[in-house]
Each structure stands twice: as C-alpha cells, then as structure tokens.
Amino acid sequence: MIRRDHLGNWVSIPCIVGDYVYELNKSREKVETKKVRNIEIHIGRGNCYAVHIEFEVCGFCRPSDFGKTVFKTPGDAAHALDEYLSRKKK
C-alpha cells in the first residue's frame, strides 16, 4: 500500500490493518503469526518520518523488517527460519 504523508510525499507500507504477517522468533526458533492492529506514521523534523506497524497481541515492526524478520506469507517465513537454523548449526 502506498499513502501520502502530511507533506504529500508517498510512503510505502507493506501491509494494511487486518492483514496477517509472519514474524521469526529466533529465540523460540519458530514462526509466529501476527495480526496487524494499527499503522502509525510518526513525523519528525523536515521530511523525516518513521512507520510503525503494531501487532494485536504483542510488538511492532517497521517496513524495513519485511523480508528479513517479518514476511507476508508463511512459506517465506518458514524458508527464512530454515536458513537461520542451518546457519546457526554451523
């Protein structure tokens, strides 16, 4: 999803409220399903902003976490977890 901020700049948001995303929990070595509760755009000085994607149960992420520790599909998350576990064993 792409939205405009208060200055009219385009901000790319990788999900919408109500979506389910899949987050790696490295300490428990599993994938957790999270439902997006809220998306906030915090405006700083000048053109600086931060996007926080809040989950219903616990926690939040940033758009930059997608593809690293948060994924749009359970398959992508499972693949990332497998890669993490294989690197950890080495």
- 41 neighbors 61 (Cβ within 8 angstroms): no
pLDDT tens for residues 30-89? Answer: 999 999 999 988 877 766 678 899 999 889 999 999 999 999 999 999 999 999 999 988
20: exposed, middle or buried (Cβ count in 10 Å: 0-12, 13-18, 19+): middle
Domain boundaries, the chain: 2-89
- This prediction's pTM: 0.82
Domain 2-89 carries which CATH code?
2.30.30.140
